[in-house]
A = this chain, B = another copy of it.
Amino acid sequence: MTRPVLTDARAPLTRSVQVVNAHGEEEAISIPAERDLTVYVDKRELVTLMTLGAHPEWLVLGYLRNQRLVRSLDAVESVTVDWDVGAAAVRTREGIDDIEERTSRRVVTTGCGQGTVFGALMDEVDSVHLPDARLTQAQLYAIVNAIRLQESTYKSAGSVHGCALFRGEEMLLFVEDVGRHNAIDTIAGWMWLQEDNAHAAAPDAPLVFYTTGRLTSEMVIKSAQMGVAIVVSRSGITQMGFEIAERLGLCTVGRATGKHFLCYTGRERLLLQPALAGTRLRSET
Protein backbone atom coordinates (compact mmCIF):
# COMPACT_ATOMS: atom_id res chain seq x y z
CA MET A 1 0.00 0.00 0.00
CA THR A 2 1.24 3.47 -0.85
CA ARG A 3 0.98 5.79 2.13
CA PRO A 4 0.02 9.43 1.78
CA VAL A 5 2.65 12.07 2.52
CA LEU A 6 1.60 14.05 5.60
CA THR A 7 2.84 17.24 7.23
CA ASP A 8 3.12 17.28 11.03
CA ALA A 9 1.48 20.62 11.81
CA ARG A 10 0.53 20.23 15.45
CA ALA A 11 -0.46 23.65 16.84
CA PRO A 12 -0.44 25.00 20.43
CA LEU A 13 -3.39 23.37 22.22
CA THR A 14 -4.17 26.05 24.78
CA ARG A 15 -4.23 29.79 25.07
CA SER A 16 -3.87 31.83 28.26
CA VAL A 17 -6.55 34.40 29.09
CA GLN A 18 -7.12 36.81 32.00
CA VAL A 19 -10.29 36.24 34.01
CA VAL A 20 -11.72 37.49 37.28
CA ASN A 21 -12.81 35.06 39.99
CA ALA A 22 -15.44 35.11 42.77
CA HIS A 23 -12.99 36.85 45.10
CA GLY A 24 -12.67 39.70 42.61
CA GLU A 25 -9.11 38.71 41.76
CA GLU A 26 -7.40 38.50 38.39
CA GLU A 27 -6.39 35.01 37.32
CA ALA A 28 -4.58 33.74 34.24
CA ILE A 29 -6.14 30.50 33.07
CA SER A 30 -5.74 28.23 30.06
CA ILE A 31 -8.57 27.68 27.62
CA PRO A 32 -8.46 25.18 24.77
CA ALA A 33 -7.49 26.54 21.38
CA GLU A 34 -10.14 26.39 18.68
CA ARG A 35 -9.10 27.17 15.14
CA ASP A 36 -10.71 26.78 11.79
CA LEU A 37 -9.17 24.44 9.28
CA THR A 38 -10.55 24.64 5.77
CA VAL A 39 -10.12 21.40 3.86
CA TYR A 40 -9.42 21.61 0.11
CA VAL A 41 -9.55 18.43 -1.96
CA ASP A 42 -7.68 18.81 -5.25
CA LYS A 43 -7.94 22.59 -4.82
CA ARG A 44 -11.71 22.45 -4.32
CA GLU A 45 -12.99 23.78 -0.95
CA LEU A 46 -14.77 21.00 0.92
CA VAL A 47 -15.49 21.97 4.52
CA THR A 48 -14.27 24.06 7.45
CA LEU A 49 -13.61 22.11 10.66
CA MET A 50 -13.30 23.83 14.05
CA THR A 51 -10.48 21.98 15.80
CA LEU A 52 -8.05 22.02 18.69
CA GLY A 53 -5.32 21.30 16.18
CA ALA A 54 -3.51 18.40 17.84
CA HIS A 55 -3.42 16.06 14.85
CA PRO A 56 -4.88 17.90 11.86
CA GLU A 57 -3.62 15.46 9.21
CA TRP A 58 -5.21 12.43 10.90
CA LEU A 59 -8.36 14.46 11.42
CA VAL A 60 -8.60 15.27 7.72
CA LEU A 61 -7.99 11.64 6.71
CA GLY A 62 -10.56 10.41 9.23
CA TYR A 63 -13.06 13.01 8.08
CA LEU A 64 -12.69 11.90 4.46
CA ARG A 65 -13.03 8.29 5.59
CA ASN A 66 -16.03 8.72 7.88
CA GLN A 67 -17.83 10.92 5.37
CA ARG A 68 -17.32 8.13 2.85
CA LEU A 69 -15.61 10.47 0.43
CA VAL A 70 -12.50 8.30 0.17
CA ARG A 71 -12.78 4.53 0.32
CA SER A 72 -9.09 3.66 0.44
CA LEU A 73 -5.99 5.34 1.81
CA ASP A 74 -4.28 4.51 -1.51
CA ALA A 75 -6.40 7.20 -3.12
CA VAL A 76 -4.77 9.98 -1.07
CA GLU A 77 -1.43 11.28 -2.29
CA SER A 78 -0.80 13.92 0.40
CA VAL A 79 -2.31 16.06 3.18
CA THR A 80 -0.57 19.41 3.72
CA VAL A 81 -1.66 21.50 6.69
CA ASP A 82 -0.62 25.17 6.94
CA TRP A 83 -1.89 26.97 10.04
CA ASP A 84 -0.79 30.36 8.73
CA VAL A 85 -3.66 30.21 6.27
CA GLY A 86 -5.83 27.71 8.20
CA ALA A 87 -5.83 25.28 5.30
CA ALA A 88 -5.44 21.55 4.75
CA ALA A 89 -4.69 20.75 1.13
CA VAL A 90 -5.54 17.17 0.16
CA ARG A 91 -4.23 15.77 -3.11
CA THR A 92 -5.82 12.62 -4.40
CA ARG A 93 -4.34 10.35 -7.02
CA GLU A 94 -7.38 10.18 -9.26
CA GLY A 95 -9.88 12.71 -7.90
CA ILE A 96 -13.12 11.86 -6.09
CA ASP A 97 -16.11 10.82 -8.19
CA ASP A 98 -19.21 12.99 -7.93
CA ILE A 99 -17.62 15.20 -5.30
CA GLU A 100 -19.77 18.12 -6.44
CA GLU A 101 -22.93 16.17 -5.79
CA ARG A 102 -21.78 14.49 -2.62
CA THR A 103 -20.74 17.65 -0.85
CA SER A 104 -21.62 21.30 -0.58
CA ARG A 105 -19.79 24.07 1.24
CA ARG A 106 -20.55 24.11 4.94
CA VAL A 107 -18.98 24.97 8.25
CA VAL A 108 -18.90 22.09 10.69
CA THR A 109 -18.90 23.60 14.13
CA THR A 110 -17.83 22.31 17.51
CA GLY A 111 -19.95 19.35 18.49
CA CYS A 112 -21.58 19.07 15.12
CA GLY A 113 -22.96 15.78 13.88
CA GLN A 114 -22.10 16.62 10.31
CA GLY A 115 -25.68 16.50 9.19
CA THR A 116 -26.13 15.23 5.69
CA VAL A 117 -23.94 12.22 5.94
CA PHE A 118 -25.61 10.88 9.04
CA GLY A 119 -28.59 9.61 7.07
CA ALA A 120 -26.25 7.68 4.80
CA LEU A 121 -24.45 6.17 7.81
CA MET A 122 -27.77 4.96 9.21
CA ASP A 123 -28.47 3.19 5.93
CA GLU A 124 -25.24 1.24 6.33
CA VAL A 125 -25.90 0.07 9.88
CA ASP A 126 -27.40 -3.24 8.90
CA SER A 127 -24.49 -4.17 6.67
CA VAL A 128 -21.95 -3.82 9.50
CA HIS A 129 -20.44 -7.02 10.89
CA LEU A 130 -18.59 -6.62 14.16
CA PRO A 131 -15.66 -8.79 15.23
CA ASP A 132 -16.06 -11.36 18.02
CA ALA A 133 -14.55 -9.08 20.68
CA ARG A 134 -14.82 -9.72 24.41
CA LEU A 135 -13.56 -7.63 27.33
CA THR A 136 -13.07 -8.71 30.94
CA GLN A 137 -14.16 -6.53 33.86
CA ALA A 138 -10.49 -6.37 34.90
CA GLN A 139 -9.56 -4.99 31.46
CA LEU A 140 -12.40 -2.47 31.70
CA TYR A 141 -11.08 -1.23 35.06
CA ALA A 142 -7.58 -0.97 33.59
CA ILE A 143 -8.95 1.19 30.75
CA VAL A 144 -10.78 3.52 33.14
CA ASN A 145 -7.63 3.82 35.25
CA ALA A 146 -5.44 4.56 32.22
CA ILE A 147 -7.76 7.41 31.27
CA ARG A 148 -7.64 8.72 34.83
CA LEU A 149 -3.84 8.88 34.71
CA GLN A 150 -3.64 10.41 31.23
CA GLU A 151 -2.20 13.91 31.03
CA SER A 152 -4.60 15.97 29.00
CA THR A 153 -5.70 19.35 27.75
CA TYR A 154 -8.92 18.66 29.65
CA LYS A 155 -7.00 18.64 32.93
CA SER A 156 -5.19 21.89 32.12
CA ALA A 157 -7.91 23.79 30.29
CA GLY A 158 -11.21 21.86 30.36
CA SER A 159 -13.87 22.15 27.67
CA VAL A 160 -12.63 19.46 25.33
CA HIS A 161 -13.82 15.94 24.58
CA GLY A 162 -11.40 13.06 24.88
CA CYS A 163 -11.43 9.80 22.97
CA ALA A 164 -9.05 6.89 23.09
CA LEU A 165 -8.50 3.62 21.32
CA PHE A 166 -7.39 0.59 23.32
CA ARG A 167 -6.30 -2.90 22.40
CA GLY A 168 -7.20 -4.80 25.54
CA GLU A 169 -5.66 -2.76 28.37
CA GLU A 170 -3.14 -1.06 26.10
CA MET A 171 -3.87 2.52 25.09
CA LEU A 172 -2.98 2.88 21.42
CA LEU A 173 -3.99 6.50 20.98
CA PHE A 174 -5.54 9.32 23.04
CA VAL A 175 -7.04 12.28 21.20
CA GLU A 176 -8.81 15.41 22.40
CA ASP A 177 -10.68 18.01 20.43
CA VAL A 178 -13.24 20.74 20.94
CA GLY A 179 -15.82 18.53 19.22
CA ARG A 180 -16.09 14.82 19.93
CA HIS A 181 -16.68 14.14 16.23
CA ASN A 182 -13.24 15.53 15.47
CA ALA A 183 -11.72 13.33 18.15
CA ILE A 184 -13.27 10.16 16.74
CA ASP A 185 -12.48 11.18 13.16
CA THR A 186 -8.85 11.69 14.20
CA ILE A 187 -8.74 8.16 15.61
CA ALA A 188 -10.33 6.85 12.40
CA GLY A 189 -7.60 8.58 10.37
CA TRP A 190 -4.86 7.17 12.57
CA MET A 191 -6.36 3.65 12.37
CA TRP A 192 -6.36 3.88 8.61
CA LEU A 193 -2.64 4.57 8.65
CA GLN A 194 -2.08 1.55 10.94
CA GLU A 195 -4.42 -0.77 9.09
CA ASP A 196 -1.79 -3.26 7.97
CA ASN A 197 -0.93 -4.23 11.51
CA ALA A 198 -3.85 -3.09 13.67
CA HIS A 199 -5.13 -6.57 14.45
CA ALA A 200 -1.95 -8.48 13.79
CA ALA A 201 0.08 -7.91 16.97
CA ALA A 202 -2.48 -9.10 19.51
CA PRO A 203 -5.34 -10.72 17.64
CA ASP A 204 -7.00 -11.96 20.83
CA ALA A 205 -7.17 -8.58 22.57
CA PRO A 206 -10.30 -6.64 21.64
CA LEU A 207 -10.25 -3.12 20.22
CA VAL A 208 -12.11 -0.84 22.63
CA PHE A 209 -13.15 2.73 22.04
CA TYR A 210 -13.31 5.14 25.00
CA THR A 211 -15.08 8.51 24.96
CA THR A 212 -15.66 11.15 27.62
CA GLY A 213 -18.85 12.12 25.77
CA ARG A 214 -22.28 10.56 25.68
CA LEU A 215 -23.00 7.37 23.82
CA THR A 216 -25.07 8.91 21.05
CA SER A 217 -26.21 7.26 17.84
CA GLU A 218 -23.30 8.81 15.95
CA MET A 219 -20.69 7.54 18.39
CA VAL A 220 -22.14 4.04 18.16
CA ILE A 221 -22.35 4.10 14.37
CA LYS A 222 -18.85 5.50 13.84
CA SER A 223 -17.39 2.99 16.27
CA ALA A 224 -19.11 0.14 14.46
CA GLN A 225 -17.80 1.38 11.13
CA MET A 226 -14.28 1.36 12.54
CA GLY A 227 -14.79 -2.31 13.44
CA VAL A 228 -14.77 -1.58 17.18
CA ALA A 229 -17.40 -3.64 18.99
CA ILE A 230 -16.96 -2.26 22.52
CA VAL A 231 -17.44 1.39 23.53
CA VAL A 232 -16.82 2.73 27.03
CA SER A 233 -17.92 6.14 28.28
CA ARG A 234 -17.68 8.24 31.41
CA SER A 235 -21.15 9.57 30.52
CA GLY A 236 -24.51 7.97 29.80
CA ILE A 237 -26.39 6.85 26.72
CA THR A 238 -29.20 8.32 24.64
CA GLN A 239 -32.18 6.36 23.39
CA MET A 240 -30.99 6.29 19.77
CA GLY A 241 -27.52 5.24 20.88
CA PHE A 242 -29.07 2.44 22.92
CA GLU A 243 -31.34 1.22 20.13
CA ILE A 244 -28.69 1.20 17.42
CA ALA A 245 -26.12 -0.50 19.68
CA GLU A 246 -28.70 -3.16 20.52
CA ARG A 247 -29.43 -3.72 16.83
CA LEU A 248 -25.70 -4.00 16.05
CA GLY A 249 -24.88 -6.20 19.04
CA LEU A 250 -22.32 -3.56 20.02
CA CYS A 251 -21.31 -3.51 23.69
CA THR A 252 -21.91 -0.11 25.35
CA VAL A 253 -20.62 0.58 28.86
CA GLY A 254 -21.38 3.94 30.50
CA ARG A 255 -20.95 5.81 33.81
CA ALA A 256 -17.53 4.19 33.95
CA THR A 257 -15.60 5.81 36.80
CA GLY A 258 -13.61 4.06 39.52
CA LYS A 259 -15.19 0.64 40.01
CA HIS A 260 -18.63 1.74 38.88
CA PHE A 261 -20.17 1.15 35.45
CA LEU A 262 -23.38 0.17 33.71
CA CYS A 263 -23.45 -2.16 30.71
CA TYR A 264 -26.34 -1.05 28.52
CA THR A 265 -26.15 -3.34 25.50
CA GLY A 266 -24.16 -6.27 24.11
CA ARG A 267 -23.49 -7.62 27.59
CA GLU A 268 -22.36 -10.98 26.16
CA ARG A 269 -19.15 -9.19 25.13
CA LEU A 270 -18.38 -8.20 28.73
CA LEU A 271 -16.99 -10.96 30.94
CA LEU A 272 -18.24 -9.95 34.38
CA GLN A 273 -16.04 -10.46 37.44
CA PRO A 274 -18.32 -9.07 40.19
CA ALA A 275 -15.75 -9.89 42.89
CA LEU A 276 -13.61 -7.06 41.46
CA ALA A 277 -16.35 -4.49 42.08
CA GLY A 278 -15.42 -4.41 45.76
CA THR A 279 -17.64 -3.30 48.59
CA ARG A 280 -20.83 -1.59 47.59
CA LEU A 281 -20.88 2.13 48.28
CA ARG A 282 -24.01 3.57 49.79
CA SER A 283 -24.27 6.02 46.90
CA GLU A 284 -24.62 3.15 44.46
CA THR A 285 -27.86 1.81 45.87
- When distances are taken between beta carbons in the complex, the residues of chain B under 8 Å from A274 are 22-25
Whether A238 lies near B34 (C-beta < 8 A) is: yes
Whether B115 lies near A107 (C-beta < 8 A) is: yes
Bound-state Cα–Cα, A35 to B239, Å:
8
The 8 Å CB contact of A17, one of B22, B242, B280, is B242
Whether A112 lies near B110 (C-beta < 8 A) is: no
Task: Take A159-B214, A259-B22, A264-B17 as given contacts and tell me if A238 and B112 are in contact as well, using a CB distance cutoff of 8 Å.
Answer: no
Whether B280 lies near A239 (C-beta < 8 A) is: no
| Residues in chain A within 8 A of chain B (CB atoms) | 15, 17, 19-25, 27, 29, 31-35, 50, 104, 106-116, 118-119, 137, 157-159, 178, 180, 214, 216-218, 235-242, 255, 259-264, 267, 270, 272, 274, 276-277, 280, 284
- When distances are taken between beta carbons in the complex, the residues of chain B under 8 Å from A158 are 235-236, 255
Main DSSP-derived SS at the A contact region:
mixed
Whether A236 lies near B31 (C-beta < 8 A) is: yes
**15 more A-B residue pairs beyond the given contacts A27-B262, A34-B240, A178-B216, with a C-beta to C-beta distance below 8 A:** A20-B267, A21-B284, A24-B277, A31-B242, A32-B238, A33-B239, A35-B239, A104-B104, A109-B217, A109-B218, A110-B214, A110-B217, A111-B112, A158-B235, A158-B255
Bound-state Cα–Cα, A50 to B116, Å:
14
Bound-state Cα–Cα, A163 to B277, Å:
36
- When distances are taken between beta carbons in the complex, the residues of chain B under 8 Å from A22 are 137, 259-261, 274, 276-277
Nearest chain B CB to A273's CB is how many angstroms away? 8
Whether A31 lies near B115 (C-beta < 8 A) is: no
Task: Take A108-B115, A112-B112 as given contacts and tell me if A21 and B239 are in contact as well, using a CB distance cutoff of 8 Å.
Answer: no
What residue of chain B has the Cβ atom nearest to residue A160's Cβ?
Answer: B238
Task: Take A23-B277, A238-B159, A277-B23 as given contacts and tell me if A218 and B261 are in contact as well, using a CB distance cutoff of 8 Å.
Answer: no
